[in-house]
């Protein structure tokens, strides 16, 4: 895993709202945008902005079916990050 990818993922997780989204998504098989709006108390456009950052960093997988958007944890990316941080200890 290259330094740029790790930096993007770490920056994405550094925000408290994005971290709460990641934690909520990790507890469920999938999470929807409306759930995130309720969870964070943020407006829908702000939630969309945070989701874009998380998807662009590779931490979440965005799956749109019709009008429904499902977000899931990218487990492969999490394995790579876990391995990277494990090497530091």
Residue 37, SS3 per DSSP = helix
Mean pLDDT, residues 2-22: 94
Domain 3-83 has CATH 1.10.357.10: no
Residues with Cβ within 8 Å of residue 17, at least 6 apart in sequence: 40, 42, 50
For the four alpha carbons of 15, 60, 25 and 41, in that order, the dihedral sign comes to positive
> Who wins on pLDDT, 34 or 74?
74
With 0-12 CB in 10 A as exposed, 13-18 as middle and 19+ as buried, what is 31?
A: buried
Instruction: Please state whether the predicted TM-score (pTM) of the whole model is above 0.85.
Output: yes
- Local confidence band at 1 (pLDDT 50, 70, 90 cut-offs): confident
- According to the model, what pLDDT value does residue 4 have? 93
Residue 20, SS3 per DSSP = helix
Which residue in the block uniquely carries the two structure tokens 């989204």?
A: 21
Query: What is the per-residue pLDDT across 57-84, written as a single tens digit (0 to 9) for each?
Result: 999 999 998 888 899 999 999 999 999 9
């Amino acid at each position: 895993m290259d330094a740029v990818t790790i930096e993007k993922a770490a920056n994405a997780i550094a925000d408290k709202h994005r971290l709460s989204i990641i934690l909520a998504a990790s507890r469920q098989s999938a999470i929807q945008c409306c759930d995130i709006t309720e969870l964070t108390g943020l407006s829908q456009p702000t939630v969309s902005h945070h989701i874009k950052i998380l998807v662009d960093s590779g931490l979440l997988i965005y799956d749109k079916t019709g009008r429904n958007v499902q977000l899931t944890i990218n487990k492969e990316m999490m394995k790579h990050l876990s391995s990277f941080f494990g090497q530091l200890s």
